[in-house]
Structure 1
């Protein structure tokens, strides 16, 4: 019963996620590309990179892997070379989404906590260089994934399907890469985001106390433009990084527990609590690729205005054509 329940949830969940997340990320990319949201060019680069990576995650990981490959097991997607490439791309793109979020968090940390370094680091060309370097490193880092899977069966001299290579996961190098890959993709970004947010919160509290002391008691009821701008900046930072932490928490905990109890765990019994936790974590971490458009719409007034403009544009064009 538990097995059927989890399979049913996945069959309903992933198509719905694809339907809502693809247009949401496309609209987000269009809005950010227009450059009318009142954001600096530096932060716009990071937000565009995150939106683009999230869109690719939804396309590759959700639509291609969880929907097409799962529901059409005898299609060309099941050819072993194609299957390996899909697994490689799904892993690499998810890494990009994660580390672009880390780079965004680090950039906001520099803005708030390192004022002297801010003018040198928080520039558009620096953001482009960081995004490019991360992309190249992740593409190279995930190449061993292509060797972690082998042909599942041969039909009419054609290689079909992919399964985890027992020789790879049982070898010292394979096990070392698995732990390195997991640390890189789950533990390190999770730890970095938590640490950077802690340091940022501490810096904000110290700066706020000092500023209130300088302004004195007589001006407590007056508005403080600098504090207001800082408040808007940290709301965006904390909502993005905080939701990331919450949605990736299940994956982080389940990976640690399953790896400690069974180092060769891959899928396991579908009625096993470890499998259920792993699949739940996978669904939640993919949901993180839909979170950012919702956060932008909820926290950024100019983004909401641009969203209304983009949504109205097709209808405005149709009305103009009808009137002419």
Structure 2
């Protein structure tokens, strides 16, 4: 999930927003390039969102159905699911490439990307756009609420049952319930931050698409929604750093001088000298 969030920052923030604002005459402003960047940004957003959904569902199975944990909550299953989500997200994002046309031409080179207005009158495009919005916002919202509610209720119920069996006055800690509570806290931090930070964007889309509120491009409400949506891509990594010791160990090992990336950089520097 952290890698997927990092891809959103690269494609949606750096390559699209920052480059268009501060480097309007760079090669990133060529129409084919900025159209490709749009596709990558949409795909990265979908991947980031559905990786979070997959994590939530994995924790739901592991906590509520421990009998199937050993069979389904494995590294192999996670790899397959991540591959399917990545391929599907890329395929769904491809049509956005063909919606962009050149804003102007310099020396017969198309530059800039604007939305082709003819798509606004197509029923098929309206259905596709609704599908994309649903996959990015509405369906994940619903799944987060349902899965988190079921997981939390299961932990509370099982905690009462275990306390009843162990006795209220034993004074002993229950390691199993401690691990479950930690998992629930992590689960609510990740999915809860997504819900809070995406709420403004969801309200904006609903007001424009459902309640027919006049759309004002670049309005403050839209800008705040985009800012919070972009901020949501940074929260997962921060939560992992604060809560997961194994994740911190992996970051430290990746930053060590013996990591293959640093060895390759050192080899290139020695080769040039």
Report the TM-score range of the alignment, normalised by the length of the smaller protein: 0.7 to 0.9
Deviation for aligned residue 1:262: 3.9
The aligned counterpart of 2:66 is 115
Which of 279, 284, 309 is the matching residue for 2:223? 279
Counterpart residue number, 1:239: 189
**Cα deviation digits, residues 296-323 of structure 1 (max 9, x gap):** 2322345456666777x56xxxxxxxxx
The C-alpha deviation readout for 1:43-74, integer Å capped at 9, x for no partner, is: xxxxxxx1111111111111111111222222
Name the structure 2 match of 1:248. Answer: 198
Q: Give the corresponding residue for 2:243.
A: 299
Q: Which residue of 2 aligns with 1:224?
A: 174
1:184 matches 2:128: no
Structure 2, gaps ≥5 residues long: 258-273
| Aligned counterpart, 1:32 | none
Match among 52, 60, 69 for residue 11 of structure 2: 60
Query: What is the CA–CA distance in structure 2 between the aligned matches of 1:217 and 1:293, rounded to whole Å?
Result: 38
TM-score, length-scaled by structure 1: 0.74
CA 1:306/1:103 → structure 2, altered by over 3 Å: closer, same or farther?
Answer: closer
| Alignment-derived partner of residue 138 in structure 1 | 89
Q: 2:232 aligns with which of 288, 292, 300?
A: 288
Give the C-alpha shift of residue 255 in structure 1: 1.1
Tell me how far 1:167 sits from its aligned partner.
Answer: 0.7
Root-mean-square deviation over aligned CA pairs: 2.1
Q: What's the counterpart of residue 149 of structure 2? A: 198
Give, in angstroms, the shift of residue 264 of structure 1: 8.9
> Could you say if the C-alpha distance between residues 78 and 231 of structure 1 is closer, same or farther in structure 2, counting changes exceeding 3 Å?
same
> Contact 1:147–1:168 (CA<8 Å) still a contact in 2?
no
The structural deviation recorded for 1:117 is 2.2
Structure 1 partner of 2:117: 166
2:57 aligned with 1:106: yes
Tell me the residue number matched to 1:91.
42
Give me the TM-score of the superposition, normalised by structure 2: 0.87
Contact 2:42 2:93 in 1 (8 A): yes
Deviation, 1:212, is: 1.1
Work out the number of aligned pairs and report it: 258
User: Which stretches of structure 1, 4 residues or longer, exceed 6 Å deviation after superposition?
Assistant: 308-311
Give the C-alpha shift of residue 101 in structure 1.
Answer: 0.6
Residue in structure 2 matched with residue 36 of structure 1 by the alignment: none
Contact 1:149–1:163, Cα closer than 8 Å, also in 2: yes
Q: Deviations over 1:151-200 (max 9, x none)?
A: 22233322121111111122111111111110011111111111110111
